[in-house]
Amino acid sequence: MGVSLISGDFEMGATGTVTYVDGQHVYAFGHPFLNLGPTSMVMRQAHIFSILPSLDSSMKIAGMGSVVGTLTQDRSSAIGGMLGAPPRELHVSVTLASGRSPDQRFAFSIVHDPALTPLFAYVAVLNALASYERQNGVLTAATTGTIDFGADGRIAIDDIFTGDGVSANAAATILAPVTAMVGNEWHRAMPDAIDLRVKLSEQQTGSAIERAWLDTTRPVYGATHTLHILLRNYRGENETVSLPVTMPAQSSGSLSVLVSDAPTLTALEQREIKPGRPQSLPDLVNTLNHARRNHTIYVRLLSSAPGTVAGGETLPALPGSTREVLSADRSQSMASLSRSVVGSWELQLDRVVRGSREWPITLTPKRQ
């Protein structure tokens, strides 16, 4: 018999000897498979084509056959399951688009197990990319798609990678959200379907943030100004992009404007801003849907006025009296912030962006 981990256009699994059949109950292997305990995997017929004998370690050349039931237990002495209907699986659809050839489409079914599903979803996508694209040299991959968790929500995939190691990064766009959802602290959430499209190019694309400035040297409280950003691509060509930014009606402490890429903003948040943690599964889905993207310019208006993270929620630029009241409440976790975000804007591009610029500003009152 066989135990299927991945089936479809790419297959991975294990075969072993049937030990005993008792009605609908099947016992096999006589040893653990992965020693997972309670599990849910597809049980298949298997055929041994040949044996490669060896005094060191013999090997069998085997192939998977039709589905015969569900593996439910993986224990130290044996694996066991039931003949009949197959278990629930994750269905993955991958489309590779390239200017060199027609679109290539792949379909997989992947085991539903909290410990294995994220890993083998990643392996399936990575092998699809490795089958048709080069593994060394410059490559650009634009990934789009969705991960459907049924009633628990849907996560959108939208990112771009360029340079070396792109295939692994593109496959990892599904690894991180699936891992976060499967391992959440509220209740078990397993994905039902993944639909991924990867557009590939054997060229490097991307721009660096060279300079950024406002359309005025005297920004006004509550006014909308235009932010200009000078970008330089890898060929040395310049381009200026712009977006409107609205200043706060009031603020305390000194202010600065940060224009950055995703890695820089993420590092700053973890070091100084400390964003709040999700407090429920819907909060986690929302957080994953707003994850930092490589092709987005992030603009933040930062204040030196201290803030607080209370019960997982970020509260920027709080008055001292309010911070004292919150600190007195021992029923929830507290953390102080060295800086707070008082304005937030984003600009999405069609290529990867890198770099950051930050400068101080002073707001002036509106003229009466």
Average pLDDT over residues 149-164: 92
What is the pLDDT at residue 312?
46
Average pLDDT over residues 41-56: 92
pLDDT bracket for residue 334 (50, 70, 90):
very low
Asked if the model's pLDDT at residue 321 lies above 70, the reply is no
pLDDT bracket for residue 274 (50, 70, 90):
low
The top-scoring range by mean pLDDT among 58-62, 249-253, 267-271 is 58-62
Asked if the model's pLDDT at residue 42 lies above 90, the reply is yes
Asked if the model's pLDDT at residue 248 lies above 50, the reply is yes
pLDDT digits 0-9 by tens, 165-184: 888 899 999 999 999 999 99
What is the pLDDT at residue 323?
53
d(CA 355, CA 258): 11
Q: Please, what is the Cα angle at 52 between 46 and 58, to 5 degrees?
A: 90
pLDDT bracket for residue 317 (50, 70, 90):
low
| Average pLDDT for the chain | 87
Q: Which residues contact 366 (CB under 8 A, 6 or more apart)?
A: 220, 221, 222, 223
Residues 107, 111, 113, 116, Cα dihedral to 10°: -80
Average pLDDT over residues 33-39: 91
What is the pLDDT at residue 119?
93
d(CA 272, CA 344): 16
Closest C-alpha to 300, from 260, 261, 258, 362: 258
What is the pLDDT at residue 333?
45
Average pLDDT over residues 264-273: 81
Q: 44 is written with which tokens?
A: 């298949």
pLDDT digits 0-9 by tens, 107-144: 999 999 888 999 999 999 999 888 887 777 788 999 99
pLDDT bracket for residue 243 (50, 70, 90):
very high
Asked if the model's pLDDT at residue 253 lies above 80, the reply is no
d(CA 350, CA 200): 13
**Looking at 98-102, 141-145, 229-233, which range is the least confident one?**
98-102
What is the pLDDT at residue 320?
58
Beta strand pairing status for 101-110 and 90-98?
antiparallel
Average pLDDT over residues 146-151: 94
